Structure 1
Amino acid sequence: MLRRLSTSLLFATISTLSWAQDSLISYVDPFIGTGGHGHTFPGAAVPFGMVQLSPDNGRSGWDWCSGYHYSDSLIAGFSHMHLSGTGIGDWLDISVMPLEAPLDDTTKGVKIPFSHDNERASPGYYQVTLDNGIQAELTASERIGYHRYTYPQIDTPVVRFDLAFRQNWDTPTETHISILNDSTLVGYRYSTGWAKIQRVYFAARTSAPFVKTILHDGQSASTMTDMAETYERGKGVSAQLLFDGSRHKTIELKVALSMTGYEKALNELNHAKKDRFNAARQTAKDKWEAELQKIKIRSESDELKRVFYTALYHTALSPTLYADADGEYRNAHGDIHTMPNGASRYTLFSLWDTFRALKPLFTLTQPDKYTDMLNSMLAFHDENGLLPVWDLSTWETNTMTGYHAIPVLADAILKDWPGLDAERAYQAMLKSAHQAIRGVPDYIAYGYLPQDKAGGSVTITLEYAFDDWCIAQVAKKLGKTADYATFMNRAKSYANLFDKQTGFMRAKNSDGQFIEPFDPFWSEHDFDKSQYIEGNAWQHSFFVPHDVRGLANLYGGNEGLSTKLDELFSAPSEMHGDNISPDASGFIGQYAHGNEPSHHIAYMYSYIGEPWKTQDRVRQIVDSMYHDGPDGYAGNEDAGQMSAWAVWSIAGLYPANPASGEYVFGSPIADETIFTLPNGKQFTIRALDNSEKNSYIQSATLNGKPYENTYLRHQDMLNGGELVFKMGPKPSKRFGQKPETWPGSDQNRYPNPASR
Structure 2
Amino acid sequence: PLVHLPNSMLRVFPMKQDQLDDQINFFPLNNVSHRTEFVFSFLPLKGNRNDTFWGKRVTVLTEQTTPYYYQAEDEDSGMTIEFAPSAKSGIFEVDFKTTKDNYLRIGLNGGSGNVQSDNHHVITGVEDITGMKAYFYAETDQDLDQLIYQNNNDKKRLLARFNKAIKVKLKYGISYISVAQAKINLYTEIPNWDFNQIKQKAKHIWEQQLSQITLKGGTEAQKRTFYTSLYRTYERMVDINEYGQYYSAYDHQIHKSDKPFFVDNWIWDLYIAQEPLHTILNPKMQLEKINSYITMYKQSGWMPSFALATGDWPAMTGNHAASWFADSWAKGLRDFDVKTAYEGLKKNSVAGTLLPWRNGPPTAIDSFYNEKGYLYSTRPEERGSKDGVDMDKWWEGRGNEGVSITLENSVCDWAIAQLATPAGYPQDKPLFLKRAGWWKNVYNQEEGFVWPKDKAGNWIKPYNTKLLGREYVTENNSYTYNWTPKHDLKGLFQMMGGTKKAEAKLDQLYREDLSVPKFHFWLNQPDASGLVGQFVMGNEPSYHIPYLYNYTGSPWKTQKRIRMLLDTWFPDNVFGIPGDEDGGGTTSFVVFSMLGFFPVTPGIPEYSIGSPVFSEASIKLPSGKVFTVKALNNAKENVYIQSATLNGKPLLKPVFTHSDLLKGGVLQFKMGARPNKLWGAAI
Regarding TM over 0.5, the answer is yes
Give the structure 1 partner of residue 12 of structure 2. 53
CA gap of 1:327–1:675, structure 2 versus 1, over 3 A, is: farther
Which one-letter code corresponds to 1:239 in the other structure? Answer: L
Secondary structure of the structure 2 residue equivalent to 1:98: strand
* Residue pairs, 1:248-287, within 5 angstroms: 248-271=165-188, 272-274=190-192, 276-287=194-205
The answer (yes or no) to whether the contact 1:443–1:449 under 8 Å persists in 2 is yes
* Residue pairs, 1:37-436, within 5 angstroms: 41=1, 43-57=2-16, 64=17, 69-82=18-31, 89-101=35-47, 103-105=49-51, 108-115=54-61, 118-131=62-75, 132-163=77-108, 165=109, 171-172=110-111, 174-180=112-118, 182-191=120-129, 196-216=130-150, 220-221=151-152, 234=154, 237-245=156-164, 248-271=165-188, 272-274=190-192, 276-331=194-249, 334-339=252-257, 342-436=258-352
Cα deviation for residue 366 of structure 1 reads: 2.0
Give the structure 2 partner of residue 442 of structure 1. 368
Cα deviation for residue 368 of structure 1 reads: 4.2
The answer (yes or no) to whether the contact 2:7–2:238 under 8 Å persists in 1 is yes
> Which stretch of structure 1 is more off in the superposition, 726-735 or 489-498?
726-735
Deviations 1:172-223 (A, max 9, x none): 1x212232461112221113xxxx334211100111111221234xxx33xx
Deviations 1:401-459 (A, max 9, x none): 11111111111222231532222211111111113323443322111111145511111
Paired with 1:238 and 1:101, the residues of 2 have a C-alpha distance of 18
The answer (yes or no) to whether the contact 1:698–1:732 under 8 Å persists in 2 is yes
Paired with 2:354 and 2:49, the residues of 1 have a C-alpha distance of 49
Paired with 1:240 and 1:400, the residues of 2 have a C-alpha distance of 41
Paired with 2:338 and 2:251, the residues of 1 have a C-alpha distance of 27
Which one-letter code corresponds to 1:417 in the other structure? Answer: L
> Which stretch of structure 1 is more off in the superposition, 366-375 or 710-719?
366-375
The percentage of aligned residue pairs carrying the same residue is 31
The answer (yes or no) to whether the contact 1:524–1:578 under 8 Å persists in 2 is no
Paired with 2:657 and 2:267, the residues of 1 have a C-alpha distance of 23
CA gap of 1:180–1:268, structure 2 versus 1, over 3 A, is: farther
Question: Unaligned regions of 5+ residues in structure 1, if any?
Answer: 1-40, 58-63, 166-170, 222-231, 740-756
Paired with 1:434 and 1:457, the residues of 2 have a C-alpha distance of 17
* Residue pairs, 1:549-588, within 5 angstroms: 549-573=490-514, 579-588=523-532
Which one-letter code corresponds to 1:536 in the other structure? Answer: N
Cα deviation for residue 91 of structure 1 reads: 2.1
Secondary structure of the structure 1 residue equivalent to 2:642: strand
Cα deviation for residue 479 of structure 1 reads: 5.7
Secondary structure of the structure 1 residue equivalent to 2:510: helix
Secondary structure of the structure 2 residue equivalent to 1:273: coil
Cα deviation for residue 710 of structure 1 reads: 1.2
Paired with 2:245 and 2:332, the residues of 1 have a C-alpha distance of 25
Paired with 2:95 and 2:284, the residues of 1 have a C-alpha distance of 38
Give the structure 2 partner of residue 746 of structure 1. none
CA gap of 1:77–1:599, structure 2 versus 1, over 3 A, is: same
Paired with 1:384 and 1:631, the residues of 2 have a C-alpha distance of 40
CA gap of 1:83–1:708, structure 2 versus 1, over 3 A, is: farther
* Residue pairs, 1:736-755, within 5 angstroms: 736-739=680-683
> Which stretch of structure 1 is more off in the superposition, 248-257 or 366-375?
366-375
The answer (yes or no) to whether the contact 2:469–2:478 under 8 Å persists in 1 is no
Give the structure 2 partner of residue 3 of structure 1. none
Cα deviation for residue 556 of structure 1 reads: 1.6
> Which stretch of structure 1 is more off in the superposition, 726-735 or 668-677?
726-735
Paired with 1:99 and 1:329, the residues of 2 have a C-alpha distance of 34
The answer (yes or no) to whether the contact 1:414–1:477 under 8 Å persists in 2 is no
Cα deviation for residue 470 of structure 1 reads: 0.6
Deviations 1:697-749 (A, max 9, x none): 1221111111222111111111111110111222222221222xxxxxxxxxx
Aligned length: 649
Paired with 1:258 and 1:418, the residues of 2 have a C-alpha distance of 32
TM-score of the pair, normalised by structure 1:
0.83
The answer (yes or no) to whether the contact 1:329–1:338 under 8 Å persists in 2 is no
The answer (yes or no) to whether the contact 1:346–1:376 under 8 Å persists in 2 is yes
Secondary structure of the structure 1 residue equivalent to 2:526: coil
Cα deviation for residue 133 of structure 1 reads: 1.7
The answer (yes or no) to whether the contact 2:326–2:602 under 8 Å persists in 1 is no
Paired with 1:373 and 1:111, the residues of 2 have a C-alpha distance of 38
* Structure 2 residue 635 is matched with structure 1 residue 670: no
The answer (yes or no) to whether the contact 1:327–1:345 under 8 Å persists in 2 is no
Paired with 2:58 and 2:313, the residues of 1 have a C-alpha distance of 33
The answer (yes or no) to whether the contact 1:100–1:154 under 8 Å persists in 2 is no
Cα deviation for residue 539 of structure 1 reads: 1.0
CA gap of 1:730–1:410, structure 2 versus 1, over 3 A, is: same
Give the structure 2 partner of residue 24 of structure 1. none
Cα deviation for residue 569 of structure 1 reads: 0.8
CA gap of 1:74–1:638, structure 2 versus 1, over 3 A, is: same
* Structure 2 residue 478 is matched with structure 1 residue 544: no
Secondary structure of the structure 1 residue equivalent to 2:340: helix
Which one-letter code corresponds to 2:370 in the other structure? Answer: I
The answer (yes or no) to whether the contact 1:321–1:344 under 8 Å persists in 2 is yes
The answer (yes or no) to whether the contact 2:262–2:288 under 8 Å persists in 1 is yes
Cα deviation for residue 559 of structure 1 reads: 0.6
The answer (yes or no) to whether the contact 1:53–1:139 under 8 Å persists in 2 is no
Cα deviation for residue 579 of structure 1 reads: 4.6
Cα deviation for residue 244 of structure 1 reads: 3.0
TM-score of the pair, normalised by structure 2:
0.91
Deviations 1:527-582 (A, max 9, x none): xxx10110111111111111111100001210110011111111014666695131
The answer (yes or no) to whether the contact 1:323–1:344 under 8 Å persists in 2 is yes
Paired with 2:425 and 2:501, the residues of 1 have a C-alpha distance of 36
Give the structure 2 partner of residue 464 of structure 1. 409
Which one-letter code corresponds to 2:173 in the other structure? Answer: A
* Structure 2 residue 672 is matched with structure 1 residue 728: yes
> Which stretch of structure 1 is more off in the superposition, 699-708 or 99-108?
99-108
Paired with 1:475 and 1:391, the residues of 2 have a C-alpha distance of 23
Deviations 1:663-716 (A, max 9, x none): 100111111110111212110000111112221112211111112221111111
Cα deviation for residue 268 of structure 1 reads: 1.4
Paired with 2:485 and 2:65, the residues of 1 have a C-alpha distance of 41
Paired with 2:279 and 2:416, the residues of 1 have a C-alpha distance of 19
> Which stretch of structure 1 is more off in the superposition, 92-101 or 502-511?
92-101
Secondary structure of the structure 2 residue equivalent to 1:108: helix
Paired with 1:723 and 1:420, the residues of 2 have a C-alpha distance of 31
Cα deviation for residue 107 of structure 1 reads: 8.6
> Which stretch of structure 1 is more off in the superposition, 450-459 or 406-415?
450-459
* Structure 2 residue 653 is matched with structure 1 residue 709: yes
